[in-house]
Amino acid sequence: MKVADSGTLRHLLEDGDIDVAFCFDRRDVTKGAADEHFARRTIVDEPLVLVAAPGQGSALSDMAALATLRFVATEPGCIYRHMFDAAFAEAGVAAPKLAAEVGSIGTIARLVAAGAGLGLVPRLAVSDALVRGDLVELPWSGQMRKAPLTMIWRRRRVQPPALRRLLAAARDTLAPERAQASSEPESTNRSKALL
């Protein structure tokens, strides 16, 4: 198993270094010719949530008010950063000043819990911190965002036995919100891939 950002996982998949990747996918990107070699299945559309340290945030009425606050965000090129920037751009508001740009959702959660700023992150990635009370969820005044958690694998006539079993198990146990058509059997901070 390897843990890496979504772009790295896609390159590893293209190069044949891994068999399947689980990553958050961008829906707004036009799929290229390389994507014709891959099958994909959306497992769930994970909602993004606005989080703060307990006592650090309050409900703000609009995106302009949110833009006056400091945020911790992922680095440019990450799906979460794209969704963060797009949320403010679509509201016609300049993106807020960042307290920090970091490489993982886990780091965002720790910095937000320490009071460095607010964060817009997948609920799945911070659910434990929310339950423990390390973070609190605040109302998001913009359009609600969701990040699709997607399973991606190379299309082949004959899959290796272990991969075939994994795809069958995923098909039988993972409840997709929307399955994408494929000729293969239908079968996460940072994303995970199986070797």
Give tens-digit pLDDT for 42-63.
Answer: 888 888 899 999 988 666 768 8
Residue 136 phi, psi (nearest 5) = -125, 145
pLDDT of residue 126: 93
- Model confidence pLDDT, tens digit, residues 110-166: 999 999 999 998 888 899 999 999 999 998 877 777 878 888 988 887 888 888 888
Q: What is the rounded CA–CA span in Å between residue 14 and residue 12?
A: 5
- Does residue 117 come out as left (phi exceeding 0), alpha (psi in the -120 to 50 range) or beta? left
What is the third-level CATH fold of 1-195?
A: D-Maltodextrin-Binding Protein; domain 2 (3.40.190)
Q: What is the rounded CA–CA span in Å between residue 142 and residue 62?
A: 7
Q: What is the rounded CA–CA span in Å between residue 26 and residue 10?
A: 12
- pTM value is 0.69
**pLDDT level of residue 26 (50, 70, 90 thresholds):** low
